[in-house]
Amino acid sequence: MSSREASQAPLEFGGPLGAMAMLILLPATMFHLLLAARSGPARLLALPAYLPGLEELWSPRALLLLVTWLGLQVALYLLPARKVAEGLELKDKSRLRYPINGFQALVLTALLVGLAVSVGLLPLGALPGMLLPLAFATTLTSFIFSLLLYAKALVAPASALAPGGNSGNFVYDFFRGRELNPRLGSFDFKYFCELRPGLIGWVLINLALLIQEAELRGSPSLAMWLVNGFQLFYVGDALWYEESVLTTMDIIHDGFGFMLVFGDLAWVPFTYSLQAQFLLYHPQPLELPMALLICFIKATGYYIFRKANSQKNTFRKNPSDPSVAGLETIPTATGKQLLVSGWWGMVRHPNYLGDLIMALAWSLPCGLSHLLPYFYVLYFTALLVHREARDEHQCLRKYGRAWQEYCKRVPYRIIPYVY
Q: Are 48 and 59 in contact (CB under 8 A)?
A: no
The residue ranges that bind ligand NDP (CB under 6 A) are 248-249, 305, 309, 312, 315-316, 336, 338-339, 344, 349, 351-352, 355, 387, 391, 394-395, 406
CB of 126 to ligand NDP, least distance (A): 28
Measure Cα distances from 229 to 223, 353, 361, 409 in Å. 10, 21, 11, 38
191 versus 315: smaller Cβ distance to ligand NDP: 315
Give the nearer residue to ligand NDP in terms of CB position, either 124 or 205: 205
Q: How far is the CB of 395 from ligand NDP (least distance, A)?
A: 5
Residue with smaller CB distance to ligand NDP, 133 or 269: 269
As measured in angstroms, the least distance from the Cβ of 94 to ligand NDP is: 18
Residue nearest to ligand NDP (CB): 248
Amino acid symbol at 329: T
Residue with Cβ nearer ligand NDP (61 or 401): 401
- The answer to whether 268 and 216 are in contact (CB under 8 A) is no
Minimum gap (Å) between residue 174 Cβ and ligand NDP: 21
d(CA 299, CA 173): 39
Min dist. Cβ of residue 184 to ligand NDP (A): 25
Per DSSP, the residues of 186-234 read: TEEHHHHHHHTHHHHHHHHHHHHHHHHHHHHHSS--HHHHHHHHHHHHH
In the complex, least distance from residue 372 CB atom to ligand NDP, rounded to whole angstroms: 18
Whichever of 190 and 349 has its CB closer to ligand NDP, that residue is 349
Question: How far is Cα 29 from Cα 27, in angstroms, rounded to an integer?
Answer: 5
Q: Which is nearer to ligand NDP, 152 or 316 (CB)?
A: 316
CA nearest to 365, candidates 218, 229, 233, 187: 229
Q: How far is the CB of 77 from ligand NDP (least distance, A)?
A: 20
* 53 CB neighbour count, 10 Å cutoff: 8
Q: How far is the CB of 366 from ligand NDP (least distance, A)?
A: 18
d(CA 346, CA 409): 10
Give the orientation angle of helix 222-240 with respect to helix 274-281, to 10 degrees: 160
Q: Which residues contact 119 (CB under 8 A, 6 or more apart)?
A: none
Q: Which C-beta is closer to ligand NDP: that of 360 or that of 395?
A: 395
Amino acid at 182: P
**375-399 vs 274-281: helix crossing angle, rounded to 10:** 170
Minimum CB distance to ligand NDP smaller for 9 or for 290: 9
Q: Is 310 helix (H, G, I), strand (E, B) or coil?
A: helix
